[in-house]
């Protein structure tokens, strides 16, 4: 479904500030895979997501979605097949538009936008059904402005908007990090529900190791632009946070990595 082939990416190349974010990364996601990505700050996790989303163009290597090369497509074209949720709850929705208008924008993501009313009775029913899953009562507030919602509600809405058009890939970039623990737990639960409901292929960056272990069927650990460790299937189910920390320990000497930076 998603394939990243030998991708490298450097920021500020050929300057004193050169920062190599990705070093020859290769990653393959089968249809239905839910991969969690962990790693210290600056490991290249977000860069990887942005490369997949078409936000950054890799210096070397290619990105394939569902058998077609999307490396050179602009981000908005890649977005037709990719749903994204950002860390900032404010980033995924348009505050001055209503809930139903936001959903209509997401609904048209993988369709051609025409001169037809965005919110119709038919679509409203679809939106209501999707919002019911959240159990936040948003289905009764379709005409409320999104700017009036709380951060948690906005993030839940972003999640629905990213997922309900059944994108080929769902990208989640630390999407629970800016929320309080209770809301984060809610969003985590919703993520699991939506991915199952729509049978999505997902790539999720997180700093929370427990979350990384409890969600998804595969886990990758990144460090200094490389994938240093991978877990899948049974091994992932059995693994504990302690096991992950032990894996990190191995790279401590080589990269000056500490538990503190990992867990922050």
Partner 1 sequence: MIAALDLGLIFGLMALGVYLTFRVLDFADLTIDGSFTTGAATAAILLVGGWPPLAATAAGGCVGLVAGLMTGLLNTWGKIHPLLAGILTQIALYSINLRIMGRANVPLLRTETLFTPLREAGLLGTFVSVSILACLLALFVSALVWFLSTDVGLALRATGDNEGMARAQGINTDLMKCIGLSLSNGMVALSGALFAQYQGSADIGMGIGLIIAGLASVIIGTAIINNGRLWITAVAVVVGSIIYRLIIQAALSIPWFNPNDMKLLSALIVIVALLLPRWDVFNRVRARSRERQFVVEPWDTPDPEELDSGDARPPSQGVTKKAGRKNNA
Binding region for partner 1 (CB under 8 A): 53, 74-77, 79-80, 84, 86, 90-97, 101-102, 104-106, 108-111, 113-119, 145, 161
| Comparison of 40 and 176: residue with beta carbon closer to partner 1 | 176
Question: Is 34 in a helix, a strand, or coil?
Answer: strand
Q: In the bound complex, what is the minimum distance in angstroms from residue 157's beta carbon to partner 1?
A: 11
Query: In whole angstroms, what is the distance from residue 231 CA to residue 239 CA?
Result: 9
Q: Are 255 and 223 in contact (CB under 8 A)?
A: yes
**What is the closest distance, in whole angstroms, from the C-beta atom of residue 112 to partner 1 in the complex?**
8
In the complex with partner 1, the residue whose CB is nearer, 102 or 206, is: 102
CB of 169 to partner 1, least distance (A): 13
Nearer to partner 1, 1 or 91 (CB): 91
Q: Rounded to an integer, what distance in angstroms lies between the CA atom of residue 239 and that of residue 234?
A: 9
Query: Given the complex with partner 1, which of 3 and 75 has the nearer CB atom?
Result: 75
Strand partners of residue 169: 82, 201
Least Å from the CB of residue 158 to partner 1: 8
Q: How far is Cα 29 from Cα 73, in angstroms, rounded to an integer?
A: 20
Smallest distance from the beta carbon of 160 to partner 1, in angstroms?
Answer: 13
CA 143 to chain centre: 27
Choice between 14 and 96, CB closer to partner 1: 96
d(CA 62, CA 69): 7
Nearest CB to partner 1, comparing residues 84 and 183 = 84
CB of 100 to partner 1, least distance (A): 10
Burial of 48 (0-12, 13-18, 19+ CB in 10 A): buried
What is the rounded distance in angstroms from the CA atom of residue 159 to the CA atom of residue 187? 8
């Amino acid at each position: 479904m998603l394939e990243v082939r030998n991708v490298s990416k450097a920021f500020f190349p050929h300057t004193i500030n050169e920062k190599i974010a990705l070093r020859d990364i290769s990653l393959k996601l089968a249809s239905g895979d839910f991969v969690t990505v962990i790693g210290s700050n600056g490991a290249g996790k977000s860069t990887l997501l942005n490369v997949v989303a078409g936000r950054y163009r890799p210096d070397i290597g290619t990105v394939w979605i569902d058998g077609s090369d999307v490396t050179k497509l602009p981000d908005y074209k890649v977005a037709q097949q990719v749903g994204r949720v950002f860390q900032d709850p404010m980033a995924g929705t348009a505050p001055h538009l209503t809930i139903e208008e936001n959903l209509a924008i997401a609904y048209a993501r993988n369709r051609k936008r025409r001169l037809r009313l965005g919110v119709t009775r038919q679509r409203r029913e679809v939106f209501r059904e999707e919002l019911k899953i959240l159990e936040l009562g948003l289905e009764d507030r379709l005409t409320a402005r999104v700017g009036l919602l709380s951060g948690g509600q906005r993030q839940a809405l972003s999640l629905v908007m990213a997922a309900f058009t059944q994108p080929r890939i769902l990208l989640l970039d630390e999407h629970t990090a800016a929320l309080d623990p209770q809301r984060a737990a809610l969003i985590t639960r919703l993520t699991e529900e939506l991915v199952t409901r729509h049978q999505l292929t997902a790539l999720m960056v997180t700093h929370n190791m427990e979350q990384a272990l409890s969600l998804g069927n595969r886990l990758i650990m990144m460090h200094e632009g490389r994938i240093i460790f991978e877990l899948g299937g049974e091994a992932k189910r059995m693994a504990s946070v302690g096991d992950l920390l032990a894996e990190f320990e191995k790279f401590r000497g080589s990269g000056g990595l500490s538990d503190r930076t990992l867990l922050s």
